[in-house]
Amino acid sequence: MGRPKATLRIGEETFAGRLLRALGEAGLERIVVVAGVHAEETRAALPRDVRLLVNPDPSCGQLSSLKIALRDLTPAEPPVDAALVALVDHPAVRVDTLVRLREASASRAIVVPRHGGRRGHPVVFARALFEELLEAPVALGARTVVRRDPARVLELDVDDAGVLVDVDTPADLAHLRSETA
């Protein structure tokens, strides 16, 4: 993309700002952001009260960042019940979808949104899976935990195409901006 995705804009909001606003409106109380090589630029795109952790080797993949966040959340007081894992390059998820994912997490260990038969993001992991995620090989990603036992996964059908919107290229960004204009 040529610059950190957290700093990209949709209208007046950065991707990070939009996602953080939506998470807050959905009632998530403890928000942790993990940044990689562009930590300083990401920090500038965040409200000052948001906790920013740095992944020293983001080339290891998304699971390496998730592990950093889980290590921070595990000793949290009061304890967190689950982790909703939202990716900054998926900024189009609606607040009502986040609320539904949070609420559904009481019934299953893993909640994955599904739109039009396709799985999307964000994904919710119950606290009971934190240790399993922390022990998973980073090269294999969180999918190994998701696929280990299909009975613990709830595919939550949502009427929100935003769960599938992944902005990885300038063309993706232009398309998203045209859809949200």
Tell me: the pLDDT tens digits for 6-34?
A: 999 998 999 999 999 999 999 998 999 99
**Whole-number Å distance between alpha carbons of 66 and 72:** 10
Structure tokens, 93: 């998820």
Per-residue pLDDT tens for 154-179? 999 999 999 999 999 999 999 999 88
Structural domains of the chain ordered from first start: 5-180 (3.90.550.10)
161, 116 contact by CB (below 8 A):
yes
What are the backbone angles phi and psi of residue 12, rounded to the nearest 5°? -90, -5
**Whole-number Å distance between alpha carbons of 84 and 112:** 10
Longest C-alpha distance within the chain, in Å?
A: 43
Structure tokens, 120: 């999307």
Residue type, 160: D
pLDDT band at 88 (very low <50, low <70, confident <90, very high): very high
pTM above 0.85, yes or no: yes
